[in-house]
Chain A
Amino acid sequence: GQQVMQIPQYQHVQEGEDFTTYCNSSTTLSNIQWYKQRPGGHPVFLIQLVKSGEVKKQKRLTFQFGEAKKNSSLHITATQTTDVGTYFCAGIEGGSEKLVFGKGTKLTVNP
Chain B
Amino acid sequence: DAGVIQSPRHEVTEMGQEVTLRCKPISGHNSLFWYRQTMMRGLELLIYFNNNVPIDDSGMPEDRFSAKMPNASFSTLKIQPSEPRDSAVYFCASSWGPEREFFGPGTRLTVL
Cβ contacts under 8 Å, B104 to chain A: 42
Which of A42, A92, A100, A101 neighbours the largest number of chain B CB atoms within 10 Å of its CB?
Answer: A42
- Chain A: number of interface residues, binned into ranges: 20 to 34
- Chain B: number of interface residues, binned into ranges: 20 to 34
Among A45, A97, A98, point to the contact of B100 (Cβ < 8 A): A45
Cβ contacts under 8 Å, A88 to chain B: 43
Number of A-B contacts (CB under 8 A): 47
Cβ contacts under 8 Å, B50 to chain A: 97
User: Is B91 among interface residues, defined by CB-CB distance under 8 A?
Assistant: yes
Tell me, in angstroms, the Cα distance from A33 to B97 when the chains sit together.
14
> Which residues of A approach B to under 8 Å, CB–CB?
30-31, 33, 41-45, 48, 88, 92, 96-104
**Given A43-B101, A103-B43, 14 other A-B contacts at CB below 8 A?**
A30-B98, A31-B98, A33-B100, A41-B105, A42-B104, A42-B105, A97-B31, A97-B97, A97-B98, A98-B48, A98-B55, A99-B101, A101-B42, A104-B43
23 A-B residue pairs with CB within 8 Å: A30-B98, A31-B98, A42-B91, A42-B106, A43-B91, A43-B93, A43-B103, A44-B103, A45-B100, A48-B99, A97-B48, A97-B50, A97-B97, A97-B98, A98-B45, A98-B48, A99-B45, A99-B101, A101-B42, A101-B43, A103-B42, A103-B43, A104-B42
